[in-house]
Chain A
Amino acid sequence: MTGDRFALEIPPLPAHVATARLFLGAVARHFGYEEEAVDDLKLAVSEACSMSVRDRDSLTPIRLEVQAGAGGLRIDVVDPETGPLAPDGRDREPTPDSFARSVALDVIQSLFPDASIEPSPGGGRRVRFSLAPA
């Protein structure tokens, strides 16, 4: 595996989260990952992008970066505007948004135990996780 880098920017709008899944799925298949791993990546990136879409008012793009190397794939979902720790937003009523807010990061970390959410070097926040080589 070479040190290839793939990147995509999407507007932080609900309709574009599917674009992020397509992109990451295509990159993973390019590197020979099985469908189960592809499905996990698509779910994780969908959760990470949806977290940003829910938290945002502006249209500054969300940036997806995939670094492919000997260690596998490292995925960054960079939101240049949202703070590193979004409000928890747990509500007593299980509205669709409050449920997803409360479990999104747990879902990502269940799939990718090394997943982290931290301030992005360029501002905003970064969700990062990685996948071992296929």
Chain B
Amino acid sequence: MSGEVDIYTAPKLRERLVELIDGGSRAVVVNLEGVSFMDSTGLGSLVAGLKRMSDHGGRLALVCTREPVLKVLQITGLDRVFAVHDTVEAATG
């Protein structure tokens, strides 16, 4: 995914995650390397996705090395809730 994830765009992320999980996906990697901005509303979509995935016994991981996005993950403590990886290969390995 790419661009900015805020109160305007976060619903699209949430819908996509719901679509994947309800479609049977049990291992999803959200690649945030193209995301230039994310706030707590964007994180809320990821949290909702993680909860839904956990309810189905699946796994949702993030790929993120971009400083602004890592920072909001750290501030909210979600860097300890999500599996955050440097590369897609590491996330899927």
Contact = CB atoms under 8 A, between A and B. Distances in A.
Interface in A71-122: 93-100, 103-104, 106-107, 110-111
Q: How large is the interface on A (under 10, 10 to 19, 20 to 34, 35 or more residues)?
A: 20 to 34
Given A94-B44, A96-B41, A54 B7 contact: yes
Given A14-B8, A18-B8, A50-B7, A107 B14 contact: no
State the majority secondary structure of interface residues on A. Answer: helix
B71 interface: yes
Interface residues of B, number: 23
A94 B43 CA distance: 11
19 contacts: A14-B6, A14-B8, A18-B6, A18-B8, A21-B4, A39-B68, A43-B39, A43-B68, A50-B7, A50-B39, A94-B48, A94-B51, A96-B41, A96-B45, A96-B48, A99-B47, A100-B7, A100-B40, A103-B43
Interface of A: 14-15, 17-18, 21, 36, 39, 42-43, 46-47, 50, 53-54, 93-100, 103-104, 106-107, 110-111
